[in-house]
Amino acid sequence: MVTRRAGADDLPALTDVFVRCFNAPPLSDGWTMETAARKLREIHDTPGFLGVVAEEDGRVIGFALGNLEQWISCPHYFLREMCVEPERQGAGVGTCLLEALLRDLEPLGVQAVYLLTTRGTPAVEFYRKHGFEVHEGTLVFLKALDGPGA
């Protein structure tokens, strides 16, 4: 397995991995290829984009994508999406991706990495194992809106 920086040419392969990952249990989200492709394109096209992919035999098996953001005196990184093919989860791919991402962020002076994840999923323990903590000073607010697709 090798890791490398993600680019626009990777988006079709990333979309495939994303749909298979997030449509599998325990999430079973219901992404389509079109909605996932749009989401990943939006992340890629956001200023400060930085991502890494894991490949095996030239095939993408996982990725981590996000964006650098200026904070008060240093950049932070918002890890927007990270996923690994369902059949490869628990085999160290996510750890390799996270280590590669952190190596790429270090020379940029990034002082913090933050993310959102779903309670009660294996991702919670994965991030805790790698030193992430629930930030007690931050709340996430969500207001659901009526409308198509709501």
For residue 111, give the 3-state DSSP assignment: coil
Please count the other Cβ atoms lying within 10 Å of the Cβ belonging to residue 28. Answer: 8
State the DSSP H helix or E strand holding residue 55, giving kind and residue range, or none if neither.
strand 49-56
- Whether 55 maps to a domain, the answer reads yes
Q: Are strands 2-5 and 49-56 parallel, antiparallel or unpaired?
A: antiparallel
In terms of phi and psi (left: phi > 0; alpha: psi -120 to 50; beta: otherwise), the region of 109 is: left
What pLDDT score was predicted for residue 92?
96
In a domain, 140, yes or no: no
* DSSP designation for 74: S
Number of folded domains in the chain?
A: 1
Torsions phi, psi for 86 (to 5 deg): -55, -40
8-state DSSP, 128: H
Q: Which residue range forms the structural domain that includes residue 51? A: 2-129
* Secondary structure letter of residue 121 according to DSSP: S
Q: What is the CATH number of the domain that holds 109?
A: 3.40.630.30
Give the residue with greater pLDDT, 70 vs 147: 70
Question: Does 136 fall in a domain?
Answer: no
Q: Which of 137, 55, 58 is nearest to 100 (CA)?
A: 55
Model pTM score: 0.93
Read off the pLDDT of residues 1-54 as tens digits, 9 standing for 90 and up: 999 999 999 999 999 999 999 999 988 999 999 999 999 999 999 999 999 999
Q: Is residue 139 part of a domain?
A: no
Q: Does the residue 18 lie in any domain? A: yes
What pLDDT does residue 146 have?
86
Does residue 24 lie within any of the structural domains? yes
Residue 89 lies in a domain: yes
Predicted pLDDT at 22: 95
Domain assignment present for residue 138? The answer is no
pLDDT at 150 over 60: no
Task: Specify the pairing of strand 2-5 against strand 112-115.
Answer: unpaired
